[in-house]
Amino acid sequence: MSVTQLMILTAGSGGIRNGLSSDTAGVSAAQILANFPSSTDGVYWIDLPTVGPTQIYCIMNTSYDGGGWMLTMKATRGTTFDYTASYWESNNTLNPTETNLNDGDAKYNSYNYFAGTDIMARFPDVSAGGTLGSGLSAWTWHENNYYNSGSSTTLLNHFTNTSNNTYLLENAAVTSWAGHSGGPFSAQGGHRKYGFNIDESSISQAGARARWGFAWNNETYAGTNDVYSGIGLNSRRRNTNVAYSAGDFIGCCKTYSGVDRTMRFEMYVR
């Protein structure tokens, strides 16, 4: 972006775009942080496409891969955002005025209408670690350039149109990935996959389904998965229904034990 373009973007009708009021709503959290480097985590006004100035919780802490993240969804330890929930592929919202990190379920228009390139998840009720290291307050995942090699798109479009079983990592690379290694997510040997819109339920027998997460099997093929983990789970195996907003499930035969329970999660875009 040129200096001239940046000046245009940061000039709001009531002054510069610092995100402190609806009249000075920022283009994004990243823009606010770039122009106001002392910005701290909290609620800012963001001028979202389609809906206009909207209050959004933003992480400005640069320890989170440089900061500039906007909250799009959060979940308590429940079933609201399991794989089949309408929220993943519809432009609805849930409790959009709950602009905080309190334990609860919410989905915001930042998920529906902000076209970003990077995605991050925090799991606030498990120990620190993950892709951003152990110095933070929760386990983290992040993927930069999450859609079509850097093309910007909304998370709504991403989870609606990304092909099923878009594997980002496979086999040994999954268990050694910083987002898994030694953390809260269980594992099996054999079939090991990590990615978006995992849906192995139609392969042989009911298997792993995760909007963002892992598929495990002690065999070398998909479909008879005994371990599922990640965000947006919905599977049936060994006569057990698994419908978690996020979490870790062990059916049998694990090679590594995680927390084996539901989890809270927060999802961000940048």
Q: Where are the domains of the chain?
A: 3-162, 166-265
Q: Which pLDDT does position 240 carry in this prediction?
A: 75
Would you give the distance in Å from CA 184 to the centre of its chain? 16
pLDDT for res 89: 98
Per-residue pLDDT band at 15 (split at 50, 70, 90) = low
Distances (CA, A) of 71 to 100, 205, 219, 261, 266: 9, 36, 37, 24, 7
What one-letter code names the amino acid at 127? Answer: S
Kindly state the helix (H) or strand (E) to which residue 13 belongs, with its residue range: none
The CATH fold assigned to 3-162 is Gamma Fibrinogen; Chain A, domain 1 (3.90.215)
* Range name among 6-10, 72-76, 210-214 with the lowest pLDDT average: 6-10
Mean pLDDT, the chain, rounded, equals: 91
The answer to whether residues 225 and 217 touch, using CB atoms and an 8 Å cutoff, is yes
Task: Of 98-102, 144-148, 256-260, give the lowest mean pLDDT range.
Answer: 144-148
**Using CA atoms, how far apart are residues 261 and 136, in angstroms rounded to an integer?**
22
pLDDT band at 203 (very low <50, low <70, confident <90, very high): low
Residues 140-156 have a mean pLDDT of 91
- Which region among 29-43, 143-157, 197-211 has the lowest average model confidence (pLDDT)? 197-211
Task: At 200, list the tokens.
Answer: 């192995």
Taking residues 68-88, what's their average pLDDT?
98
- Cα angle value 193/194/196 (rounded, 5°): 125
Q: Percent of the chain beyond pLDDT 90? A: 80
Q: Is 59 exposed, middle or buried (0-12, 13-18, 19+ CB in 10 A)?
A: buried
Question: Quick one: average pLDDT of 138-147?
Answer: 96
What does the block give as tokens for 120? 């991050």
At residue 241 the predicted structure's pLDDT band, cuts being 50, 70 and 90, is confident
Share of the chain above pLDDT 70, in %: 92
**Which residue type is seen at 206?**
A
Answer for the pair 100, 88: CB distance below 8 angstroms, yes or no.
no
Mean pLDDT of 219-228: 87
Is 6 a residue whose pLDDT tops 60?
A: no
* Band of residue 50 on the pLDDT scale cut at 50, 70, 90: very high
The pLDDT assigned to 202 comes to: 63
User: Is residue 206's pLDDT more than 80?
Assistant: no
* pLDDT tens digit sequence for 121-136: 999 999 999 999 989 9
Residue 163 burial (10 A CB sphere; 0-12, 13-18, 19+): exposed
For residue 10, is pLDDT > 50?
no
